[in-house]
Structure 1
Amino acid sequence: MSENPTAIVVMGVSGSGKSTIGRRLADALGYAFLEGDDMHPPANIARMSAGVPLDDADRVAWLEGIAGWMEAQQASGRSVVVACSALKRAYRERLRQAGPAVCFVYLRVGHQELARRMRGREHFMPPELLGSQLATLEEPGVEESALTVEANGPVDEVVARVLRRLERQGPPGAPVGGGVQRRG
């Protein structure tokens, strides 16, 4: 438990490594972890499985569920890591309202690498929807204070890169030198 709980949202398109990197960050920091895909209503999963991209209306209940979980965790004094695409600025704004210290880590990966990753995994999001995700993506602007991390390399390197940036910068509102601390 923490007096100043933090929420780190690991974001990016499908195949960027959100789940893998997010779980590893949560383990390293001793934070609770939420796989945002687990919050999708069955209708969303059915649409994506059928190759139909989601629209803003489809994502409302999903984002509200994630934000509600974040709010409950932070109200209980728990810091969290959430894997969530958060493709649009409006989606990030909703998640940012879930607590006083919400930090976004944007995993940027090249198109060819994303396609390769998606072809090699079992997931309800088919590789054919990658184009729609890339078209929907609004990369975080400078004013959003997101950490943008190139995530083409090995998982261990990406996790280490994110941890270094979080330790140096810290969550929004943290004092200078007030970065996150690794567990153990």
Structure 2
Amino acid sequence: MAPRLITIMGVSGTGKSSLAIAVARKVNGIYLDADDFHTNECKTLMAEGIGISDQQRQEWLIRLMKGISEQLSTDQDVVLAFSGLKKAHRKQVYSSFSNQWQFMLEGSPDLILKRLMNRSDHFAGADLLPSQILAMEPIDTNEELVIKLAINLLPKEQVALVVDSISQEKVWC
């Protein structure tokens, strides 16, 4: 079987990195964090609560796509933590790789803000949340194969839902 790309999406603070790490461990896959493909300049802007430009996002996406391709070439599953804010960026990922699964973490802005206020180990803090919420384009009917997950589920419940979904023989994309 070809390696799978399992993408965990959501705004900053939804728990996508934690979930992606846990899923990668469970499926013996490679964990990739899309944030690692941002430039230091972009990370500094986001740490200051400033959203990045579409041009900066496009350059980041090119680096990200290359990183995904390199890791999938090892014949291991790749579990990606990826904001997926823009439909065009999600579409680029969806259309570039086969045998993939997409999950969108969703929850109330109040809960996400609370999580961000308690987080100190990431460049994206609570100040970035409003711009991320504004930039997040909702899943539409052309993206019906994205599985939505509630952020208020226990982490073990989220992992079980993802692993159960990807264990089915049907490939979503």
Give the total of aligned pairs: 171
Contact kept in structure 2, 1:6 and 1:171, CA below 8 Å: no
Percent sequence identity is 27
With over 3 angstroms needed to count, the CA separation of the structure-2 counterparts of 1:142 and 1:168, relative to structure 1, is farther
CA contact (8 A) 2:99 2:172 kept: yes
Structure number with the bigger relative contact order (C-alpha 8 A, sep ≥ 6) is 2
Question: Normalised by the size of structure 2, how large is the TM-score?
Answer: 0.91
Structure 1, gaps ≥5 residues long: 174-184
Secondary structure (helix, strand or coil) at the match of 2:26 reads: helix
Which residue number in structure 2 is paired with residue 28 of structure 1?
Answer: 26
- Report the secondary structure of 1:97's partner residue: helix
Matches within 5 A, 1:158-169: 158-168=158-168
Give the structure 2 partner of residue 126 of structure 1: 125
Name the structure 1 match of 2:151.
151
Q: Partners of 2:136 and 2:169 in 1: how far apart? A: 25
Aligned to 2:138: 139
RMSD: 1.6
Match of 1:99 among 87, 92, 97: 97
1:180 is matched with none
Report the AA paired with residue 8 of structure 1. Answer: I
Contact kept in structure 2, 1:5 and 1:101, CA below 8 Å: yes
- Give me the whole-angstrom Cα distance separating, in 2, the residues matched to 1:15 and 1:63: 20
Structure 2 vs 1, CA of residues 169 and 21 (structure 1 numbering), >3 Å: closer, same or farther? Answer: farther
Letter in 2 for 1:83: A
Distance 1:24 1:13 in 2: 18
Q: Which residue of 1 aligns with 2:17?
A: 19
Q: CA deviation at 1:153?
A: 2.3
